[in-house]
Amino acid sequence: MSDLFKLCDISRQAHHQRLIREKHWALLEYLVVGLIMQIREIHPGMGLRVIYDILKPNGLGRDAFISIGLSYGFRLITYKNQIRTTFSSPFSRYKNLLVDKQLNNIDQLWTSDITYYNIADKFYYIVMIIDVYSRKIIGYSTADNMRAENNCHALEMAFSTRKKKKFTNLIHHSDRGGQYISDDYVTLLKNAHIAISMCNEVHENSHIERVNGTIKNQYLRYWESTSLEELKTNVKKAIDTYNNKRPHSSLGKRTPDSFEQYIKELEVDKRPKLNIWTSDGTKKTDPNQTILQF
């Protein structure tokens, strides 16, 4: 054996140190894979970068963590939205009210959108409403059609979530889809004293569109639904998981629900501030601004 070490020009000590390093790395890989599997059980479409930010494993850099994950087949599939769910009305008289807006509390800005989900050759539609400040999904509805009544159901759920039907200084923002200017929907908003804001451009509703993508592509696509009723069950499960178990780096690694509980303990001037993108593609700068990241 000594002759073999000499032939390879390595010492016995170096050989043993290398074996120790290899065993350590093998154990590290085993632990990392186990942790990824645990998180993917709850969040099946969560990316490796986000998982690393949650775990922050001591002594292991992000690139090495991601490399281990990819080598064990944890790469995600990227999906693109190819179905049109917005049919804008040319008669909308509502302006974009989000120019130079700064948020420091919940119930200052809600935004809503419709996304689709297909089962076999049939399409279903999911309406969601989020509180932009906390990223919490506060209302939703799942149906086999795009009628305005589904949006009304989601809005009524949002009222129920907040346990009130009258608001002060709250803006509801959406695209110019016909459902959002329907008489029933507008009446619900006006009766609740909610100001109505609508996009001028597609990118002006990006807050809710990111959440749509998370719910659909990181949860629903991994849970089999064969009927509308199963889809409704999975939508509820996905939204409950998103609100209560998915931490956001922009919320200080808190979930939307725990973030809302956290800010209740803070004085208003101590709460993180969130600046909203303006219609011309610029934004206000503020060193205390919460980073907008879903």
Q: Looking at the structure, do residues 123 and 231 belong to the same domain, yes or no?
A: yes
Rounded to the nearest angstrom, the gap between the alpha carbon of residue 97 and the centroid of all alpha carbons in its chain is 23
Tens digits of residue pLDDT in 53-72: 777 777 777 888 888 788 77
CB 193 within 8 A of CB 166: yes
Residue 281's CB is within 10 A of a number of other CB atoms, namely: 9
Mean pLDDT of 267-279: 81
Stretch 14-32: mean pLDDT: 61
pLDDT score, position 8: 47
- Is 280 domain-assigned? no
262, 122: one domain: yes
Do the domain assignments include residue 95? no
Burial 23-43 (b: 16+ CB within 10 A, else e): eeeeebbeebbebbeebbeeb
Residue 250: how many other CB atoms lie within 10 Å: 17
Q: Residue 55: its pLDDT value, please? A: 77
Residue from 257, 199, 241, 217 nearest 118 by CA: 217
Q: Are residues 119 and 17 in the same domain?
A: no
The C-alpha atoms of residue 207 and residue 111 are separated, in whole angstroms, by: 8
Structurally, the chain folds into a number of domains equal to: 2
* 285 in any annotated domain: no
- Report yes or no on 175 lying in a domain: yes
- Does residue 58 sit in the same domain as residue 133? no
Of the candidate ranges 11-20, 104-113, 119-128, 161-170, the one whose mean pLDDT is the lowest: 11-20
Q: Is residue 281 part of a domain?
A: no
Full domain range(s) for residue 236: 102-275
Mean pLDDT, residues 175-194: 93
Q: What is the pLDDT of residues 100-129, one digit of tens each?
A: 889 999 999 999 999 999 898 899 999 999
pTM reported for the whole predicted model: 0.73
The verdict on 37 and 117 lying in the same domain is: no
> End of a domain among 71, 94, 129?
71
Q: Is residue 11 part of a domain?
A: yes
Domain boundary among 71, 90, 122: 71
21 belongs to a structural domain: yes
Choosing from 29, 56, 71, the residue where a domain stops is 71
Comparing 8-17, 39-48, 106-115, the range with the smallest average pLDDT is 8-17
The pLDDT of 244-273, averaged and rounded, is 92
Q: Based on the fold, state whether residues 106 and 54 are members of the same structural domain.
A: no
147: confidence class by pLDDT, cuts 50, 70, 90: very high
The residue behind tokens 């999904």 is: 137
- Judgement on whether residues 181 and 247 belong to the same structural domain of the protein: yes
Exposure class string for 206-231: b at 16+ Cβ within 10 A, else e:
ebbbebbbbbbbbbbbeeebeeeeeb
Write out pLDDT tens, residues 227-242.
Answer: 999 999 999 999 999 9
* Bridge partners (DSSP) listed for residue 169: none
Q: Is the confidence at residue 224, as pLDDT, over 60?
A: yes
Domain match, 132 and 192 both:
yes
Q: Is residue 227 a part of any domain in this protein?
A: yes
C-beta of residue 195 within 8 angstroms of C-beta of residue 171: yes
pLDDT, mean over the chain: 81
Pair 179, 123 in one domain = yes
Residues 182 and 229 occupy one common structural domain: yes
- The CATH number assigned to the domain holding 247 equals 3.30.420.10
257 with 119, same domain: the answer is yes
Does 185 share its domain with 261?
A: yes
User: What sign results for the dihedral spanned by CA atoms 187, 188, 190, 191?
Assistant: positive
Residue of higher predicted confidence among 93 and 208: 208
* DSSP 8-state code for residue 272: P
